[in-house]
Amino acid sequence: MSRSSRARLGDILIACRIIEDYATRTDDDGIVFDAIRIRLIEIGEAVKDLDPSVTAPEPDIPWGDIAQMRDQLAHRYFDTSHAIVMATARNDIPLLKSAVERLLDGERGQ
């Protein structure tokens, strides 16, 4: 059974909040890096299940790149750049979180 778009957006929002918490911790902690990486994979998987019409109201978010990052993190983990993962967590996740919150708020208004 497929989950609803609202449920998928909720999954993304939860993962974003967790990543923001983890990203405040030390950079050199391998467990934190691994935890952030797996949450990024979760986000990418949820994004892949969203119909483009759901994400269309937020065109500034690179939805396709998020899905591609999931594939990179899941299948080429030995080639994963620590700096890119941490920069994504600190710089991109807050933007994604805000966009998902707006999408969820927009669904409530309908």
pLDDT tens digits for range 53-105: 999 999 999 999 999 999 999 998 777 788 899 999 999 999 999 999 999 99
Q: Is 75 a catalytic residue?
A: yes
Q: Is the pLDDT of residue 1 over 60?
A: no
Radius of gyration from C-alpha coordinates of the chain: 14
Q: Are 44 and 75 in contact (CB under 8 A)?
A: no
Catalytic option among 70, 76, 82, 108: 70
Catalytic option among 3, 75, 82, 90: 75
pLDDT tens digits for range 3-30: 899 999 999 999 999 999 999 987 677 8
Q: Is 8 a catalytic residue?
A: no
Q: What DSSP string describes 19-84?
A: HHHHHTS-TT-HHHHHHHHHHHHHHHHHHHTS-HHHHTT-TTS-HHHHHHHHHHHHH-GGG--HHH
**Would you list the domain boundaries of the chain?**
5-104
Q: What is the distance of C-alpha 89 from the center of its chain?
A: 9
Whether pTM exceeds 0.75: yes
